[in-house]
Structure 1
Amino acid sequence: MTVRFFHTSDWHLGQFFHNHERDYEHTQFLNWLLEQIQEKQPNALLIAGDIFDVVNPASSAQKQLYQFLTDAHALAPHMQTLMIAGNHDSGYRIEQVEPFLAKFNAKAVGIISKQNQQFDLDRLLVPIYDANKNIIAWCLTLPYLRSAEITGLNEQTTNSQNAIAYLHQQLIAAAKARKQPDQALILMSHAHMQGGETSDSERPIVVGNEEALSTALFDDVIDYVALGHLHKPQKVGQTHIRYSGSPIPLSFSERNYKHQVVDVRIDPKASVTERYQYESLIIPRTVDLIRIREELKDLISAVQALPQGEIEHLNARHFLEIEYTTDAPPPVDLRQQIEMALPPNRYRLLRIARIYQKQTEQHDTFTTVDLKPPTPERLFLNLWEKMGYEQDESVKRDFLTLLEAAQHDLDQKVQ
């Protein structure tokens, strides 16, 4: 029996971008996704983590998710929605509403539980049914793995790395024991895999001093690995190991991504060449991220050349970032000149930055003044350098491990 499911991740509901909310863009995406669900009627929708942008999301972001689940269930009552927590989510929070989720054929796995000095594998193995309530697949759900949740169980879990390997081995073994020949195995995980291409909007996630995990964790029996965390849609090593990517660009480095939902069909009884079908459902871009980079003398002309046409809804207007180069000091009224040149009511001007250019005999060297708030990682590295120490990757990894542990403690306190 063929199982059909949608793979998506990294919604980051509630995100603010340079103090601008993204509610309009998320609403447009979710409405488009509802159309796809109504048309294609998948057996399951997989959301591979980072559902929300912060561990304590605004009520409007939570309402947006729950309204979507309500609407999706009305359009496809047989469809299951399976969610896992990402590093931006509170695993405890997304599990708290389990009775509500069950009414809409949805389930959230936020944390790794333990029972009798063993991982509670039953919670992590979720059956996927067809319309006649036959099990057609098993989903192995692995939320973002925090060190405190997976270590200290036994001699196989003395540190994060061997705990991660042990958890994967145990979970896959349990799935093999339950799997029937006509059932598929799908593993959903929120992790940074080796070989994955990152953008500048992803928070580094570190487990046991090692940021990226190996795809060797996945047994060949797994038919599809649905990954979350990296925002660029991509395959990792093999065709069936994929990041779906985020539905909207979350930074300017992501403005050229082809945001998508992966439509996957698996027929365990078919031949190897016909068993898997993948289709990228391209998500329409409703708000563009536009960057102008010009010499100062050409800057105003470039701004005036932008497409015209007013956009009434403020949150539907396009984001604009401007970078310019000049050897002379810029005019004091440069921002005013730019705003006067902008087509009215179409763009949201986020940033104007001067790029300092120094000519050398061999090449040009650019230094950009970045006005974004520094991350904890950057603050630590800057302080490390000021104290006269050399850059050391092991020190950086240790700091990120401590940062991850502090974030875990914060997640528990906000419950």
Structure 2
Amino acid sequence: MRLFHTSDWHLGQNLHGQDRDFEHSCFLAWLLRQLAAEQPDALLIAGDIFDTVNPPVTAQERLYDFIVSAHEQQPTLTIVMIAGNHDSGSRIELPAPLMRRLRTHAIGRVLWLDDGQLDAERLLIALPRADGTLGAWCLALPFLRPAEVTGTHLGDDYLRGIGQVHEGLIAAANARREPGQALIAISHAHMAGGSVSEDSERSLIIGNAQALPASLFGPSISYVALGHLHKPQKVNGEARIRYCGSPIPLSFSEIGYQHQILDVRLRGETLVSVEPRLIPRAVNLQRLGPAPLADILVQLADLPDIDLLADTQRQPWLEVRVRLDEPQPDLRQQVETALQGKAVRLVRIAAEYAGTGSREGEADGARLIELDQLTPQELFSRAWHDSYGSAVDEQTLSDFAQLLQDVQMQSEQP
């Protein structure tokens, strides 16, 4: 059995207001070529397919065009995709009846039967080989929101509810499979010990809950295809529990590592190998600084000039980080003037005072934080402190997290 593990496409994402559709189209075209050349049995997309719960039409078109093209070139390919915390579970599932005709399974939510038991059947997906024989079962675990795993018959313990889902689904899978058939889990979660990328990963920690333990996936699971963390990595060093990472750098903090998908091979129930397939970067992200303004202007002058024959869509995105001794009201004008005729696209200027780390325009050396760098929980904590002069208590923060989840659930309705 051979699988391609991908995650965190974030279709529809923009970088400080700049559209990333060209980069996503290049990735999807590359992925189609990989599928055609290597003919894996299944493609797993482990959540955060879209960047927002209400993605732009162009992002939805990208996804569905890709699915149709993949099926047309490889009719035996099975695709399994789950909703992540950026996705609307109901939106992901909406076209599911049509997508099943393309051997694509879209799982956005977990449901419970009237007797309080997990509806495990809808989360178990058969993975046949190209010859039609059943090689594995996929356990599909979309991002588990508190409202889905807590309640009247489940109790109020979020982590315990998550544990019940995993226990019930693994038990159902073990009862269903036959000897030689592997169990493959696909999940969108923050596992304990995972390395987070700054600026681009929305926190999955709810209230007092902690990152999830790898022990949720017992030894009967041959491979766990994870989504959420954008940096490729093993969980606690286990070769069978992995994040493949995002296909493109979603922030400037993700410049320093190679983005990839994972090529997973199994023989029966045994994991044979997991090999990265490196994704060509269609557009580079380039960061200058932090450095004094004079040094930055020299570096900008050394950037390559525009090539009139080159594709402007491939020009790098540029972030400039300037260290200042005093305010520079014309800072942007100086930077933009220095960039005239240069083959880069400026998306952000970050100015900070030397020695304090504060940005231009701040009072008393207090560090100015941009809103898009704060999680809702951090913003709530700051507002609470400003209003009451003390840190928010854990119970109030937990209540806020629950309200936030309720609002996000309501906003997900298409």
- Code of the residue aligned with 1:405 in structure 2: it is D
Describe the shift of the 1:345–1:310 C-alpha distance in structure 2 as closer, same or farther (beyond 3 A). farther
Q: How far apart are the structure 2 equivalents of 1:61 and 1:248? A: 15
Match of 1:404 in 2: 405
Structure 1 residues 52-82: Cα deviation after superposition (integer angstroms, max 9, x where no partner): 1111111111110010011111221111010
Structure 1 gap segments, 5+ residues each: 359-364
Give 1:180's aligned residue.
178
Say whether the 8 Å CA contact 1:248–1:285 is kept in structure 2.
yes
| Residue aligned with 1:114, SS | coil
Q: CA shift at 1:391, angstroms? A: 5.7
Match of 2:298 in 1: 301
**Structure 2 match to 1:78:** 76
Tell me the SS of whatever aligns to 2:354. Answer: strand
> What are the residue-to-residue correspondences of 1:12-411 with 2, within 5 Å?
12-116=10-114, 117-152=116-151, 154=153, 157-199=155-197, 200-207=199-206, 209-237=208-236, 238-268=238-268, 275-293=271-289, 294-310=291-307, 313-330=311-328, 332-342=329-339, 344=341, 346-358=343-355, 365-368=356-359, 369-373=368-372, 374-386=374-386, 387-390=388-391, 392=393, 395-411=396-412
Question: Secondary structure in 2 aligned to 1:281?
Answer: strand
2:207–2:401 CA contact under 8 A, matched in 1: no
Whole-angstrom CA distance in 2 between matches of 1:102 and 1:345: 48
Structure 2 CA distance, aligned partners of 1:71 and 1:371?
Answer: 40
Q: How far apart, in 2, do the equivalents of 1:409 and 1:11 lie? A: 23
**SS of equivalent residue, structure 2 residue 40:** coil
Deviation at 1:313, TM superposition (A): 4.7
Distance 1:397 1:310 in 2: 54
From the superposition, tell whether residues 328 and 163 of structure 1 become closer, same or farther in structure 2 (CA, over 3 Å): closer
Where 1:310 maps in the other structure, the secondary structure is coil
- Distance in 1 between the 2:147 and 2:253 partners? 33
Letter of the 1:407 partner, please give it: Q
Judged with a 3 Å threshold, the aligned counterparts in structure 2 of structure 1 residues 395 and 239 are, in CA distance, closer, same or farther, namely farther
Provide Cα deviations, 1:195-250, integer angstroms capped at 9, x if missing partner.
11112211112346314111111111100011111111111011110011110111
Letter of the aligned partner of 2:223 in structure 1?
Y
Q: State the alpha-carbon separation in 2 of the partners of residues 302 and 96 from structure 1.
A: 50
Letter of the 2:406 partner, please give it: A
**What TM-score results when the alignment is normalised by the length of structure 2?**
0.91
- Kept in 1: contact 2:208–2:394 (CA 8 A): no
Structure 2 residues without counterparts, runs of 5 or longer: 360-367
Give identity over the alignment, percent: 47
Q: TM-score, normalised by structure 1?
A: 0.91
1:375 deviation in Å? Answer: 4.3
Residue 309 of structure 1 contacts residue 343 of structure 1 at CA under 8 Å; is this kept in 2? no
CA gap 1:177/1:370 in 2 versus in 1, 3 angstroms: same
Tell me the matched-pair count.
Answer: 399
- Give the Å deviation of 1:139: 0.4
Q: Is the 8 A contact 2:207 2:394 kept in 1?
A: no
Distance 1:220 1:108 in 2: 26
Say which SS state the counterpart of residue 300 (structure 1) adopts: helix
1:154-208 CA distance string (max 9 Å, x none): 3x54422211111111111111112222111101111111111112211112346
- Distance in 1 (CA, whole Å) between partners of 2:269 and 2:218 is 19
Query: What is the CA-CA distance between 1:310 and the residue it aligns to?
Result: 3.1
Does the 8 Å contact 2:263/2:274 carry over to 1?
yes
